[in-house]
Amino acid sequence: MKKLSVLFAAAVLVSAVSVTKAADDGNQLILDLGDAVTLGNFKYKDVKIEVEKEYANPRGSAEFKFGGTPASIGVEFAQSKNTFTGTYEDSHGSVDVKRNEMAAYLRLGHKDETNVRIGYRKFKYDFSNADIVMDNGEHDKNGEATGDLTTGLDAEVTLAVGTEVQFALTVGGTYFKDAKYSWAYDKYINERFTGHVTGNAKLDALSVRIRPQLSMKMDDNIKIYINGTIAASSWDATPEGGADYAGVDIYTALGLGLQYTFDL
């Protein structure tokens, strides 16, 4: 929580430069729609992860800007799905991962300028078709897991430079209280079935993200953009009973989108 408090305080300071101009605007409806491609591979501690299959990663938002004020309210969604292969210190395997993300927020400062955003964020992770082979002869098959991160306090700050052609850098974070996790898999020892393993846990979680973006105005109402996103989520401890639920999720993507502003 302390990290988010510092982030929010800094965001309020940097957004102040754009509040006066944003307050001069009339009512606006800002729609944003895009898609993203997950990037190739990454490494975390002793784990090397590679993307094997890519699916559509749609995302979008709708935001209402109140004329005569620096305030906007909005909602956004994002979805991603990939098949990953992983090489660990003592095992290797593959898993399908699907992420669904929704947020509702209040923004101070115009979306196209330096601004701060606070709100509520919900994450849901679905892991399926997990197949993990360990060096000690254990083979976990048909693995499934879910993560319901539903009570997320979110803060985000965007620093923007330029008008017709603009570079913006967004940094954000979410703190999830009592996120719920569950998992199940079939356990084999030397390819002999030894039982169906299940478990669950309730843990606090933290998700952070950074997104640089380059955009260009096509006219007064249309803007196209390309951005990159790196996001990481982790929970506070390993559940009792062992490391049956991964301790971190890292997402890297390259996105392309279109923003349209309706003057009301």
78 has a pLDDT exceeding 50: yes
Quick: pLDDT tens for 87-103. Answer: 877 788 888 888 899 99
Contacts 24+ apart (CB under 8 A), 161-169: 163/217, 164/216, 164/217, 165/214, 165/215, 165/216, 165/217, 166/112, 166/214, 166/215, 166/216, 166/217, 167/212, 167/213, 167/214, 168/212, 168/213, 168/215, 169/210, 169/211, 169/212, 169/213
Over residues 236-261, mean pLDDT: 72
Identify the band that residue 57 occupies on the pLDDT scale cut at 50, 70 and 90: confident
For the ranges 13-22, 128-137, 245-254, the lowest mean pLDDT is seen at: 13-22
User: pLDDT tens digits, residue range 105-146?
Assistant: 999 999 999 999 999 999 888 888 889 898 889 999 998 888
Q: What value does the mean pLDDT take over residues 174-201?
A: 89
The whole-number pLDDT of residue 24 equals: 55
Coil vs helix vs strand at 139? strand
Identify which has the larger pLDDT, 213 or 204: 213
Instruction: State the residue for tokens 């004020």.
Output: 69
At residue 40, the pLDDT reads 61
Pairing of strands 71-87, 91-108: antiparallel
Q: Is residue 61 pLDDT above 80, yes or no?
A: yes
- Burial environment of residue 16 by CB neighbours within 10 A (0 to 12, 13 to 18, 19 or more): middle
Tell me, what amino acid is at 80?
A: S
Of 168, 243, 173, nearest to 14 by C-alpha is 168
| Domains assigned to the chain | 2-263 (2.40.128.100)
Say what percent of the chain tops pLDDT 90. Answer: 45
DSSP calls for 158-208:
EEEE-SSEEEEEEEEEEEEEEEEEEEEEEEEETTEEEEEEEEEEEEEEEEE
